[in-house]
Amino acid sequence: MNCAGACALAIGSLFVLTALPVEAAAGAHAARPAVWIAHDTIVDLDNLPERYSCDDLWYKFRGVLLALGARPDLQITLDQCGRSPRVHLRFSLPQVVSGLDTRYASLQAVDGTLAFAAGRPAALHASDCELVRQIKDTLLRELPVQVRSYRLACDASPTEASRYRLSIEDLRPASASDVTADVGGQRRPSGG
């Protein structure tokens, strides 16, 4: 029995079937039309173990927001700096639009994974574990991001607490490499 023609057809069909999921997976992280959505939120931090100056907090929140893909024209107002500060944040993040709404798209956005740790973004230090925990529990809860994993053993020994990490999945402008570079380049596309 000669299967040259039938085998070629079967191999060709197998090639097409195996190529489809790869193509679909690659398209899952393609740039999509998006618009900037304004956020105006107040974050009340409570009983931080370290006393923060207003300048320190301004740089830390700026680094976090830029890492999240916020537009650089963000505004940060601080009150009662120290151990229980109040931080008022006004910023914009991308949101995907579809259908007829794509005519209003002002940018392209992609899904990504972002890791926070000591030095990422640069303004976060080893002693900021509790600050990062409170940011996760307050600010990130209100945003269109998804916490993927975290290790925030802030009550552990200083050595263990300094090894905190927080990984989130979010949406960011597709052409924002200048913002990523500004916060230490810790971003990488999802699935990579």
Domain ranges of the chain: 32-189
Q: Work out the number of other CB atoms within 10 angstroms of the CB of residue 100.
A: 7
Give the pLDDT band (50/70/90) at residue 134: very high
Q: What is the pLDDT of residues 124-133, one digit of tens each?
A: 999 999 999 9
Query: Other C-beta atoms within 10 Å of 174: how many?
Result: 17
**Rounded Cα–Cα distance for residues 190 and 84 (Å):** 35
Q: Where do the H-state alpha helices sit in the chain?
A: 4-27, 54-67, 129-137, 139-142, 158-161, 177-182
* Stated pTM of the model: 0.76
pLDDT at residue 38 greater than cutoff 60: yes
**Per-residue model confidence as pLDDT tens digits over 22-31:** 223 334 568 9
